[in-house]
Amino acid sequence: MKLKKILVFTFISIILVVNSASYAADTTRIGSINAEDIINRVPLRTDNSYSSLHKNINTPYDIPSGDDYWRVTKSYNRTAYESFVKYLTSSWAKASSYTWSKSVSYSWSCSSSFSASAENAISSGLSFTKSRTKTYSVAITVDADSSRYSKLGFFADYKVYNVTAKLIDFYTGKVNETEKGELWEPTSETYLNIVYKR
């Protein structure tokens, strides 16, 4: 009787050890990324073992892209003062003045050298002001030279950043692609200027 109890106990112990080892193997697969990497990298697996990590990690600079992820960084370069944004009048005219009272919206931009995927990662991953609206509480009148063709133009100051976007393989950590360029962030400083036709 005692021998039977010992054998049963031993068999149960073996099952527990095997199950424990199996669980350890599963958690190792998920937990092979250390805490720092989990903060800085977005798991791109869609199976159950990774989906929970996807939901709970806040990684503002790492943006998933298929089996890779974009790592985007920026550093301040300069301020571009009084940069042309757009024309507020459509046709060239020999006008003596222009009066403007409508709201004007203007937004961020980046170098044309960035791919669409990298541009999306920049927009989604970096923290910056993407758009602004200038509202005129009273009408503004700007004098112009009526002897020349002109348009009313809207200008603004922009903060310019150097941006690097790296496309990294999630599983190997290899950098598959690097793109560099500038990001232009709109500020609240705006101007109404007359633009003359050359």
Residue 18 domain-assigned (yes or no): no
Residue 10 domain-assigned (yes or no): no
Contact assessment for residue 154 and residue 192, using Cβ atoms and an 8 Å cutoff: yes
39 or 194: which leads in pLDDT: 194
Residue 87 pLDDT greater than 60, yes or no: yes
Residue 145 domain-assigned (yes or no): yes
Beta bridge mates, 133: 105
Residue 1 domain-assigned (yes or no): no
- pTM (predicted TM-score): 0.67
Average pLDDT of the residues in 164-177:
91
- 98-118 pLDDT, tens per residue? 999 999 999 999 999 999 999
Residue 170 domain-assigned (yes or no): yes
Contact assessment for residue 159 and residue 130, using Cβ atoms and an 8 Å cutoff: no
Lowest mean pLDDT among 37-46, 104-113, 135-144, 174-183: 37-46
Full residue range of the structural domain in which residue 124 is found:
61-196
Q: Can you give the pLDDT at residue 25?
A: 33
Residue 90 domain-assigned (yes or no): yes
Q: How many residues does the chain have?
A: 198
Number of domains comprising the chain: 1
Contact assessment for residue 47 and residue 102, using Cβ atoms and an 8 Å cutoff: no
CATH at 164: 2.170.15
Between CA 55 and CA 63, with CA 58 as vertex, the angle to 5 degrees is: 90
Residue 28 domain-assigned (yes or no): no
Task: With cut-offs at 50, 70 and 90, classify the pLDDT of residue 40.
Answer: very low
Task: With cut-offs at 50, 70 and 90, classify the pLDDT of residue 42.
Answer: very low
Q: Can you give the pLDDT at residue 61?
A: 56
